Amino acid sequence: MDLGLTAKVALVTAASQGLGRASADALAREGMQVAICARDEAVTRRVAEELHAATGARVEGFVCDLTDSAAISIMVDAVLARFGTVHVLVNNAGGPPPGQFADVSDADWQRAFELTLMSQVRMTRAVLPAMRAQRWGRVINLSSYSVKQPIPDIVLSNSLRLGGIGWAKSIASSLAADNVLINTIATGWTLTDRVAQMATSRAAAGERDSSAVLAEIAAGIPLKRLARPEEIADVVAFLASERASYITGTVIPVDGGIIQSPT
């Protein structure tokens, strides 16, 4: 299937590892030019070189702290200067740290707000003029199945990711007039460093091994395993494509069947 992405430009945030890196890899393999960003300059440069070597696509790395409004503006301006435009934005960010309500401070809430919600808002606002000018754009938000079904011990993520869904749905209609589509992927348990961190936290609280925690999580998933990052990335590539031209304002679970609600 031709996804119609050859030579288009993608910007993928927090792409040095996990779902961000997998998404950048999938889009590069579809022939896109890809800009990636992360906080560590050396790591970002290395990942860009590795993705280029693996795919043959143009991949360039940019430094950005997604909690910093000024840094986002500077980074997007640099991407636009180097690539000329952005067709596809993949909003990804490492989730806020795990913790129960009694364990998190006002400072924790504020940082999680900046990282989980405002990074999406600011990144999208920065690329929209280019997307609207070319009357073609895709904004794909990587979120969590917690927007449908709260996950124990991650009150910050459970709360703020719902804000992201409300924001995306609120702007979908106005963006559609310019053929800019915005969708959210509600990811399930996936084999990433973030999930390993959560497993370690749960293991410490229960005085057991993190591998036992991961096995317990897998047992609760109908498919009986955690997702591979590339399985999420394949859905990112589809939503970025011409084949997804009539999908906007949606939340698409890629969760192995773990969400139990009917809607």
Distance CA 256, CA 195 (A): 15
Q: Are 52 and 36 in contact (CB under 8 A)?
A: no
Of 75, 188, 78, 171, nearest to 132 by C-alpha is 171
Q: Are 179 and 162 in contact (CB under 8 A)?
A: no
Tokens 């703020």 sit on residue: 160
* Domain layout of the chain by residue ranges: 9-190+228-254, 191-226
Per-residue pLDDT of the chain (263 residues; tens, 9 = 90+): 799 999 999 999 999 999 999 999 999 999 999 999 999 999 999 999 999 999 999 999 999 999 999 999 999 999 999 999 999 999 999 888 888 999 999 999 999 999 999 999 999 999 999 999 999 999 999 999 999 999 988 999 999 999 999 999 999 999 999 999 999 999 999 998 878 877 887 787 776 788 888 999 999 999 999 999 999 999 999 999 999 999 999 999 999 999 988 87
Fold that domain 9-190+228-254 belongs to in CATH: Rossmann fold (3.40.50)
Of 100, 114, 140, nearest to 5 by C-alpha is 140
Distance CA 62, CA 236 (A): 21
Torsion region of 249: left, alpha or beta (phi above 0 gives left; psi -120 to 50 gives alpha): left
**pLDDT for the residue numbered 1:** 79
**pLDDT for the residue numbered 31:** 97
Beta bridge partners of 142: 185
Helix H or strand E segment including 63: strand 59-63
**pLDDT for the residue numbered 98:** 84
**pLDDT for the residue numbered 262:** 81
Task: Give me the sign of the Cα torsion angle 27, 28, 34, 38.
Answer: positive
